[in-house]
Amino acid sequence: MAKQTFTTGQVLTAAQMTSLQQTAMLGGAASAKTASYTLVAADAGTAISMSNASATTITVNTALFAAGDVVNITNLGAGTCTITAGTATVNTAASLALAQYESGVLEFISTSSAVFVKSAGASANSMTLLSTTTLSGTSTTISSISQDYTNLAIYISAPLYSAAAALRVKLYNNNNSKTSGVFGSTAASISSGYIDFANTTTQADTITSWLELKQYTTNNIGIAGGHYGGTTALSSVFAGADSGGGVNGMTSIVVTTVAGTSTFSSGTCRIYGVK
């Protein structure tokens, strides 16, 4: 129920009392949205949820709300929901962008100005699991990587059928291979869009690799990684930068075995987003 004006002597209904209690507890009547939305006066005292796989906005205009009005906003969708100043002013000490399952309160201090108070969510450097993919055959593609994080952390655990096989991680930027890079170790190298990890074991075994892609949504990506070759000790560690590819963020990776000469018997690739 939206904000109401009461008169002296008026008897409140049960619904009105419930609405007042919800608002006092920073709740309010639920209003579900699935597309970008512009607030209206009736939204005062309500709880708006947004659910969309793509990016959306909630726009705030002037002359609709009074000082003291609040609107609660929660993003349920995978796409970022951004609180956007239309004709009104919106200030915040945090961010106006809500990732999935983040929320905040829009508090109006005048008819033309509001403060967005973001609820405590994931702390800086916290990791969110974005995907878990089972590896199979000679190649597995992981696409549609979220662009809503600062860094990516990628962990690969891959048993191989054949002995002394190598794991190759192929990085893509909107289907354009990343083609240049400089690394601090020759144990792992980049060439024609591939990062190769040498497996030094002499038998089929589980190899484990990790990558961290720093600022992966830009055109210049810092890359660090390491690789354990089955039963052997750490066989390669590297760090460097990649400046090849297109102008957009990295959206997919391909995990392969070298030249398709061996296959993954099982294994997983987990991708985490880092704020």
Helix (H, G, I), strand (E, B) or coil at 93: coil
The answer to whether 104 touches 98, Cβ cutoff 8 Å, is: yes
**Does pTM top 0.85 for this prediction?**
no
Q: Hey, what are 6's tokens? A: 């009461």
Q: What is the DSSP string of 85-123?
A: ESSSEEE-SS-SEE-TT-EEEEEEEETTEEEEEEPP-SP
Domain ranges for the chain: 14-118, 127-274
- Provide the pLDDT for residue 90: 92
Fold of 127-274: Jelly Rolls (2.60.120)
Fold of 14-118: Jelly Rolls (2.60.120)
Per-residue pLDDT of the chain (275 residues; tens, 9 = 90+): 455 677 888 888 877 776 665 555 445 567 899 999 999 998 888 889 999 988 999 999 999 998 888 898 998 888 889 999 999 999 987 778 888 888 889 999 999 999 998 876 545 556 788 888 988 888 888 888 888 888 888 888 777 655 555 677 777 665 555 544 443 334 445 555 567 665 555 455 666 777 777 777 776 677 776 666 555 444 455 555 555 444 456 778 888 876 656 777 778 888 888 87
Q: Which residues, 6 or more positions from 128, have their beta carbon under 8 angstroms from its beta carbon? A: 122, 149, 272, 273, 274, 275
CA distances from 85 to 2, 39, 81, 110, 139 (A): 21, 11, 13, 14, 45
* Strands 113-118 vs 37-38: parallel, antiparallel or unpaired: unpaired
CA 210 to centroid of chain Cα atoms = 19
Do domains 14-118 and 127-274 share one topology? The answer is yes
Q: Which conformational region is residue 41 in: left (phi greater than 0), alpha (psi within -120 to 50 degrees), or beta?
A: alpha
Phi and psi at 84, nearest 5°, equal: -120, 130
Nearest CA to 171 out of 118, 121, 209, 115 is that of: 209
Nearest CA to 130 out of 160, 107, 99 is that of: 99
- Provide the pLDDT for residue 87: 95
The answer to whether 197 touches 170, Cβ cutoff 8 Å, is: no
